[in-house]
């Protein structure tokens, strides 16, 4: 898949789905000629290296008025040697200089994909699935080696990029910018799409036109955050779900990040993505190495839908790992919105028993089971059962759940501590705080310094003791505040700029140890809902709680936005009680389930408070999910109508053999005397005839071109099959 043409010093990465052309420039630096739809190979693409003299341009070599990095597209640009745009790399040197000059030394092309030490990354299970190009570069003055790595996957229109730095010199160097990727696109005729929001309204889709200057999203909160997601896409104007060009950029990382597009004076759009350089300062002493996180580029010439399905397939099966990767997810009931902190063993068992009778498979005990916790002021850090609530400890409640024939799951918030805890009293210096300044709190809690191995060891010791002493099948790993006053008492002054990244490495190390020691446990990540919903955590936890907002209408936007990069098997989605606890809205229980089916599915309520009719519905929902979860979680997902653009949402999944499909159709507010409506389906086999809900048959080509009729009867008319109300929804089951 990866060709090297020695005569023209050109690399062509192509798998029939995309082409990526890299050429060594006259100064030895790798330049970029093309990224996009697959093209035929050619020995010589030199004509793509446009170098016309321009006024106000600086040139690298005396006597040459053509070669300037100001207008040449590059693979890993630095600032100040004729390029004035924001760089991918910047290194502070002992003499104060920040100029870097990287030139090609050699390269390797090898089957497969090497693992990234200590970091989550996509992988392959056999060497034929991917090929990796590594460009070995060097700054001769500094003795700094830089390896640019490109993995092309055989079956996916995707390239994974990352960078490794090695200080082979004698100077102490400081990496102040070390991005994971840079891509110079030759024009700026794109829309910049990002997924931003806040707590309880995560990953709302936002679209901007690119303009000359810098546009970016990122996080400096210590987590990838509720506010922005480490995923953006650029699309040509007019691109929709099924047509047009879209390029996705996704960072496999859970901490501070930057995703930036700089459009220059010649309309080149430079995309850079990686750890946010703001506040980042990594000391690279002689002999030391630094590995950036991985960024995954996806190309689609068939709209945003195809781009998403590439991410879904890759992240579902070659980023997520472990026993649960390919398994349909258990239907769970989580007690948080059912009880909050007000529970004991009997109350939990009563909820679990009813849930079991209705078909729920996994009971999850959320916050409040440990230490001196009776509200959110105490207990974090002390991971032993609170015996005033759970007299027989975790083993006792776990046995009781097991006796009901259910699996048992447990909540942890390992990274945090309350001052009212034995852990804090024993180790007050283990929290992140700046000497001489007060430590800010969030939710009355403080962040443990996970950059310190002894902190990770302590947490591993406490958690593994609980997990070894009771039958636990699932962990919800929460994280409920941002990092303030970032400073580690274990790091010297010239390494304080490493703390945010070292913290995340500590989180990954703890996840790695726990998932290795307890491979049967299903991990679900969470950070006050979707505050750390990113590919980095998918490597350890194949599912994540998408948002603390469990309202069905709010979830339509949150899950729709999330689906641009993340597979449905990763999107934690539950049916909760009404009035909803976040927005106080009443929605039909059918609609709550119809939204949650397009995720991992579960309940976040007390089933004993439901009416007999509602319980009957719940039983039907669980039967339905058990029948179709394989298709829902592992099928191909298509977005049909956006809740960001209209009063409607529609989406569908299709089984890999295209014989079964489920269409979700949702109306937010009811309307009077509305238009006659159809929704055009996607992904079906045009030649197969599909029975809809066991009724009439329609060929796939009709359903995809004419559409599925979804017209409601007008308000006021009575049509029991189409009774219409606010927050109405339907699921259509199509079978070939
Ligand atoms: C925030 C999570 O998102 C909730 O689901 C719940 O686990 C609470 N924390 C518990 O404190």
Rounded Cα–Cα distance for residues 166 and 171 (Å) = 12
CA quadruple 173, 175, 180, 184: dihedral sign: negative
Helix (H) / strand (E) element for 250: namely strand 246-252
pLDDT in tens, 590-607: 999 999 999 999 999 999
Extract the tokens encoding 431: 């929290």
How far, in Å, from the CA of 633 to the mean position of ligand 1?
24
- The best mutation among 341, 367, 412, 413 to test binding of ligand 1, ranked by most ligand atoms within 8 Å of the C-beta, falls on 367
Give the residue with greater pLDDT, 620 vs 71.
Answer: 620
pLDDT in tens, 516-538: 999 999 999 999 999 999 999 99
Predicted pLDDT at 717: 52
Ligand 1 pocket member 545 (CB < 6 A)? yes
pLDDT band at 153 (very low <50, low <70, confident <90, very high): very high
How many H helices and E strands in the chain?
Answer: 12, 39
Rounded Cα–Cα distance for residues 613 and 217 (Å) = 47
- pLDDT more than 70, % of the chain: 99
Tell me the three-class secondary structure of 524-546, residue by residue.
Answer: EECECCECCCCHHHHCCCCEEEC
How far, in Å, from the CA of 388 to the mean position of ligand 1?
21
Q: Which atom of ligand 1 is nearest to the CA of 376?
A: 11
Please name every residue paired with 469 in a beta bridge, in sequence order, or none if there are none: none
pLDDT in tens, 614-638: 999 999 999 999 999 999 999 999 9
Predicted pLDDT at 736: 98
Largest separation between any pair of C-alpha atoms in the chain:
87
For 449, counting Cβ atoms within 10 Å of its Cβ (0-12 exposed, 13-18 middle, 19+ buried), the class is: buried
Rounded Cα–Cα distance for residues 69 and 666 (Å) = 51
How far, in Å, from the CA of 74 to the mean position of ligand 1?
44
Ligand 1 pocket member 528 (CB < 6 A)? yes
**Three-class DSSP category at 42:** coil
Ligand 1 pocket member 529 (CB < 6 A)? yes
- pLDDT more than 90, % of the chain: 96
Q: Give the residue whose CA is nearest to atom 11 of ligand 1.
A: 367
Predicted pLDDT at 357: 98
Q: In this structure, are residues 207 and 191 in contact, taking their beta carbons and an 8 Å threshold?
A: yes
- The best mutation among 199, 373, 411, 574 to test binding of ligand 1, ranked by most ligand atoms within 8 Å of the C-beta, falls on 411
Rounded Cα–Cα distance for residues 713 and 719 (Å) = 6
For 478, counting Cβ atoms within 10 Å of its Cβ (0-12 exposed, 13-18 middle, 19+ buried), the class is: buried
Predicted pLDDT at 629: 98
Predicted pLDDT at 714: 53
382 part of the active site? no
pLDDT at 37 over 90: yes
pLDDT at 671 over 80: yes
Predicted pLDDT at 719: 52
Ligand 1 pocket member 367 (CB < 6 A)? yes
pLDDT band at 711 (very low <50, low <70, confident <90, very high): confident
pLDDT in tens, 276-296: 999 999 999 999 999 999 999
Tokens 């304080």, residue located: 496
pLDDT in tens, 211-240: 999 999 999 999 999 999 999 999 999 999
Nearest alpha-carbon partner for 597 in 543, 508, 664: 664
Nearest alpha-carbon partner for 345 in 301, 385, 306: 385
Q: Give the residue whose CA is nearest to atom 1 of ligand 1.
A: 528
Rounded Cα–Cα distance for residues 182 and 125 (Å) = 27
Predicted pLDDT at 722: 53
Extract the tokens encoding 143: 């003795």
- State the number of CA atoms in the 13 A half-sphere of 166 facing the CB: 8
pLDDT at 477 over 90: yes
Ligand 1 pocket member 636 (CB < 6 A)? no
pLDDT at 715 over 60: no
pLDDT at 716 over 60: no
How far, in Å, from the CA of 222 to the mean position of ligand 1?
18
pLDDT band at 157 (very low <50, low <70, confident <90, very high): very high
Strands (E), 186-223: 191-198, 201-209, 213-219
548 part of the active site? yes
How far, in Å, from the CA of 606 to the mean position of ligand 1?
16
Predicted pLDDT at 611: 98
pLDDT in tens, 320-374: 999 999 999 999 999 999 999 999 999 999 999 999 999 999 999 999 999 999 9
- The best mutation among 339, 380, 545 to test binding of ligand 1, ranked by most ligand atoms within 8 Å of the C-beta, falls on 545
* Catalytic residue chosen out of the listed positions 101, 548, 636, 728: 548
Average pLDDT, the chain: 96
pLDDT band at 570 (very low <50, low <70, confident <90, very high): very high
Nearest alpha-carbon partner for 280 in 102, 502, 87, 489: 502
pLDDT in tens, 505-516: 999 999 999 999
pLDDT at 672 over 70: yes
Predicted pLDDT at 673: 84
* Catalytic residue chosen out of the listed positions 70, 83, 367, 478: 478
Please name every residue paired with 571 in a beta bridge, in sequence order, or none if there are none: 544
* pTM greater than 0.85: yes
Rounded Cα–Cα distance for residues 603 and 326 (Å) = 22
Ligand 1 pocket member 524 (CB < 6 A)? no
Ligand 1 pocket member 480 (CB < 6 A)? yes
- The best mutation among 198, 415, 529 to test binding of ligand 1, ranked by most ligand atoms within 8 Å of the C-beta, falls on 529
Predicted pLDDT at 724: 74
pLDDT at 718 over 60: no
Extract the tokens encoding 190: 């794109």
How far, in Å, from the CA of 369 to the mean position of ligand 1?
13
């Amino acid at each position: 898949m990866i060709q090297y043409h020695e005569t023209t010093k050109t690399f062509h990465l192509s798998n029939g789905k995309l082409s990526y052309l890299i050429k060594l420039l006259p100064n030895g630096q790798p330049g970029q000629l093309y990224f996009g739809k697959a093209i035929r190979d050619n020995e010589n693409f030199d004509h793509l290296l446009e170098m016309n003299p321009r006024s106000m341009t600086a040139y690298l070599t005396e006597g040459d008025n053509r070669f300037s990095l100001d207008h040449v597209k590059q693979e890993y640009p630095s600032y100040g040697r004729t390029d004035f745009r924001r760089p991918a790399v910047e290194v502070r040197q002992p003499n104060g200089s920040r100029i870097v000059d990287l030139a090609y030394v050699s390269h390797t092309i090898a089957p497969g994909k090497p693992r990234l030490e200590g970091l989550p990354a996509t992988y392959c299970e056999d060497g034929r699935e991917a090929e990796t190009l590594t460009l070995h570069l060097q700054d001769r003055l500094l003795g700094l080696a830089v390896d640019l790595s490109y993995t092309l996957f055989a079956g996916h229109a995707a390239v994974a990029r990352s960078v490794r730095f090695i200080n082979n010199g004698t100077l102490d160097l400081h990496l102040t910018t070390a991005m994971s990727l840079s891509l110079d696109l030759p024009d700026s005729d794109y829309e910049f799409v990002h997924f931003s929001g806040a707590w309880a309204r995560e990953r709302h889709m936002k679209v901007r036109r690119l303009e000359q200057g810098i546009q970016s999203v990122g996080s400096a909160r210590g987590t990838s955050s509720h506010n922005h997601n480490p995923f953006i896409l650029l699309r040509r104007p007019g691109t929709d779900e099924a047509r047009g060009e879209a390029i996705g950029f996704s960072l496999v990382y859970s901490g501070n990040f930057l995703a930036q597009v700089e459009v220059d004076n010649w309309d080149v759009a430079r995309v850079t993505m990686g750890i946010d350089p703001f506040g980042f300062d990594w000391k690279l002493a002689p002999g030391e190495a630094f590995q950036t996180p991985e960024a995954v580029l996806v190309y689609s010439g068939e709209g945003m839908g195809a781009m998403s399905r590439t991410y879904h397939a890759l992240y579902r099966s070659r980023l997520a790992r472990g026993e649960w990767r390919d398994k349909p997810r258990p239907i769970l009931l989580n007690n948080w919105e059912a009880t909050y902190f007000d529970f004991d063993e009997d109350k939990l068992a009563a909820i679990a028993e009813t849930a079991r009778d209705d078909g729920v498979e996994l009971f999850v005990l959320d916050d409040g089971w440990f230490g001196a916790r009776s509200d959110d002021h105490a207990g974090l850090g002390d991971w032993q059962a609170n015996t005033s609530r759970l007299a027989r400890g975790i083993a006792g409640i776990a046995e009781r759940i097991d006796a009901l024939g259910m699996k048992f799951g447990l909540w942890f918030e390992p990274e945090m501590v309350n001052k009212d805890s034995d852990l804090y009293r024993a180790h007050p210096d283990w929290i992140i705080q700046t000497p001489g300044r007060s430590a800010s709190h969030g939710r009355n809690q403080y962040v443990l310094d996970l950059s310190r191995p002894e902190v990770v060891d302590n947490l591993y010791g406490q958690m593994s003791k609980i997990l070894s002493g009771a039958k636990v099948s699932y962990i919800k790993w929460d994280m409920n505040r941002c990092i303030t006053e970032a400073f580690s008492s274990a790091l010297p002054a010239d390494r304080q700029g490493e703390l945010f990244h070292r913290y995340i490495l500590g989180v990954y190390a703890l996840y790695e140890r726990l998932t290795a020691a307890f491979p049967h446990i299903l991990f679900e990540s969470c950070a006050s809902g979707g505050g750390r919903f990113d590919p980095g955590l998918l490597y350890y936890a194949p599912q994540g709680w998408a948002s603390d907002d469990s309202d069905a209408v709010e979830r339509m936007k949150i899950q729709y936005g999330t689906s641009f990069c993340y597979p449905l098997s990763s999107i934690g989605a539950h049916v909760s009680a009404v009035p909803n606890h976040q927005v106080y809205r009443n929605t039909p229980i059918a609609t709550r389930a119809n939204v949650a089916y397009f995720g991992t599915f579960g309940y976040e309520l007390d089933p004993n408070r439901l009416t007999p009719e509602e319980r009957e519905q719940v039983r039907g929902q669980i039967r339905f999910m058990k029948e179709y979860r394989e298709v829902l979680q592992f099928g191909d997902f298509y977005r049909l109508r956006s809740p960001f653009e209209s009063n409607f949402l529609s989406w569908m999944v299709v089984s890999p053999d295209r014989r079964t499909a489920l269409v979700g159709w949702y109306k937010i507010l009811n309307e009077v005397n509305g238009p006659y409506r159809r929704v055009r389906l996607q992904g079906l086999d045009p030649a197969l005839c599909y029975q809809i809900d066991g009724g009439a048959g329609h060929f796939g080509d009709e359903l995809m071109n004419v559409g599925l009729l979804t017209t409601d009867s007008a308000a006021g008319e009575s049509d029991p099959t189409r009774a219409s109300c606010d927050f109405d929804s339907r699921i259509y089951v199509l079978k070939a």
